[in-house]
Chains A and B, each alone.
Chain A
């Protein structure tokens, strides 16, 4: 479903702030894979996801989604294949627009937008049903401005918007990091539910080692722009947080350092 081959990315090339964020990343995901990504601050996790989305061009290498080489495609054209939830709850929705308006925008991801009416009555009842799946009472607030919602509600809505038009790949970048623990759990459970029900292929960056172990069928660890550890199946299921920390120390020669990391 996803092939990342030899991807390099350096920011601010040729300046004192030069920073090599991706240093030859290779990764292949099969359909239905759900991979969690861990790594220290600045390891290149977000840069990897942003490269897949086309937020910036990569220096070298190729990215293929479901057989289509998207390396040269601009961000808005790749969106057709991708569902995204950002770390910042403000980033995934349009605050000044209503819930149903936001949903209708997401419903047309990858489609041509013409002069047809933006929301049909039939859609509206679909949206109401989808929102009821979140269990947050949003189904009765179709015409509330999204800016009025809490961070958790916005993040849950962004998640729903990312999956309502089935993506080839769902990308979650620390999408629960800005939420309080209880809300974070709700959103994480919803993510699991949507991924399982939709048989989605997904990548989730998390700073919570335990979540990285308990969710998904694969796990990768990044360090200095490289994937230094890649496990799946039974081996992954058996991992403990201590195993991961030890693995990290062995492979990188450093202590694991992430200011948001939750180690247990």
Chain B
């Protein structure tokens, strides 16, 4: 039990970092209404870019900016595949994800793993200093949420929301839905890569597989946040906060089930099943409600 509490700060720090990633997922999944699988690749792109930029002697802030831009570029590619090649969003994301596997290896000069030691480089956070890591990650989350809150309150942000909500309505009101989808994917993947750059600093390395299954963790965080806080958090900024809280809870639960003896290799299956069940719940609720009215009508 004591060791469980000792592992809490680590879970919280990781949860916040992945919560930032979940904010990126929220933009596509909830606002644009597309499930974007690019994120599995762009998470690692963020980490790889971060490490390589630090190795070339850059300052951490600049390196993170470049990581953000690299993620934006990845989202742009998916956006072009989707809107200009007419490829369904899910497949467009899978294609970019595959491209990114090769690109990420190139970024890391063909090595699957590159270390980023906090002893050698001036990093913004590291798991060696958990309180600091939690504070730094929280500040990033807060700034990102504040910026998005502002953006989605602007004319352009509104047109993005309309695009995700009702494309017919958006087009009839003169909104270029293709451009908006690209903007959304760019923003989302930029944020995801930023989260990847934080994660690589936190864990002290970048790995070609660090984003594998990221979409599932992101969705889990979004859904947990909605289930637990959806009733009280109505404001857009608070909904994003809920996604971050969802990320934290996800990591606390993971830590718990690992302590309880779940095989670490089964973790991905466990997460995917949990997400499947939570995505199923609204569908089942509807089914049951429909079944009731049908019987009621008869």
Tell yes or no: B159 within 8 A of A by CB.
Answer: yes
A262 to B185, CA, bound (A): 48
Instruction: Write the B148-187 contact mask toward A (1 if CB under 8 angstroms, else 0).
Output: 0001011111110110011011111111110000000000
A4 to B151, CA, bound (A): 41
Asked whether, in the complex, the Cβ of A118 is within 8 Å of the Cβ of B169, the reply is: no
Asked whether, in the complex, the Cβ of B176 is within 8 Å of the Cβ of A118, the reply is: no
Q: Which residues from chain A contact B168 at a C-beta distance below 8 Å? A: 86, 91-92
Q: What's the dominant secondary structure at chain A's contact region?
A: loop
Tell yes or no: A95 within 8 A of B by CB.
Answer: yes
Choose, from A14-22, A106-114, A239-247, the stretch at the interface.
A106-114
Asked whether, in the complex, the Cβ of A79 is within 8 Å of the Cβ of B155, the reply is: no
Asked whether, in the complex, the Cβ of B155 is within 8 Å of the Cβ of A116, the reply is: yes
Asked whether, in the complex, the Cβ of B169 is within 8 Å of the Cβ of A94, the reply is: yes
Choose, from A35-43, A97-105, A124-132, the stretch at the interface.
A97-105
B6-22 residues with Cβ-Cβ distance < 8 A to A are none
Q: Which residues from chain A contact B170 at a C-beta distance below 8 Å? A: 76, 94, 105
Which residue in B154, B159, B161, B172 is a CB contact (below 8 Å) of A84? B172
A132 to B109, CA, bound (A): 65
Asked whether, in the complex, the Cβ of B171 is within 8 Å of the Cβ of A108, the reply is: no
Asked whether, in the complex, the Cβ of A105 is within 8 Å of the Cβ of B162, the reply is: yes
Tell yes or no: A80 within 8 A of B by CB.
Answer: yes
Asked whether, in the complex, the Cβ of A113 is within 8 Å of the Cβ of B166, the reply is: no
| B30 CB to nearest chain A CB (Å) | 10
Interface range, B side: 20 to 34
Q: What's the dominant secondary structure at chain B's contact region?
A: helix
Q: Which residues from chain A contact B158 at a C-beta distance below 8 Å? A: 97, 101, 104-105, 113, 118
Asked whether, in the complex, the Cβ of A118 is within 8 Å of the Cβ of B153, the reply is: yes
Instruction: Write the A31-60 contact mask toward B (1 if CB under 8 angstroms, else 0).
Output: 000000000000000000000010000000
Q: Which residues from chain B contact A116 at a C-beta distance below 8 Å? A: 154-155
Known: A97-B161, A105-B175. A91 touches B169 (CB 8 A): yes
Q: Which residues from chain A contact B169 at a C-beta distance below 8 Å? A: 91-94, 102, 105
Tell yes or no: A161 within 8 A of B by CB.
Answer: yes
Known: A94-B161, A95-B166, A105-B159. A79 touches B154 (CB 8 A): no
Asked whether, in the complex, the Cβ of A76 is within 8 Å of the Cβ of B176, the reply is: yes
Tell yes or no: A72 within 8 A of B by CB.
Answer: no
Asked whether, in the complex, the Cβ of A79 is within 8 Å of the Cβ of B172, the reply is: yes
Q: Which residues from chain A contact B153 at a C-beta distance below 8 Å? A: 117-118
A106 to B158, CA, bound (A): 11
Which residue in B157, B165, B174 is a CB contact (below 8 Å) of A80? B174
Contacts A/B (CB < 8 Å), 9 sampled: A76-B170, A76-B175, A94-B165, A95-B166, A97-B158, A101-B161, A105-B159, A106-B173, A108-B155
Q: Which 7 A-B pairs have the closest CB atoms?
A: A79-B174, A94-B165, A113-B155, A118-B158, A109-B174, A94-B166, A115-B154
What 11 new A-B contacts, CB under 8 Å, besides A101-B161, A114-B154, A118-B153?
Answer: A76-B177, A86-B168, A93-B169, A94-B161, A105-B162, A105-B170, A105-B173, A108-B155, A113-B155, A115-B151, A117-B154
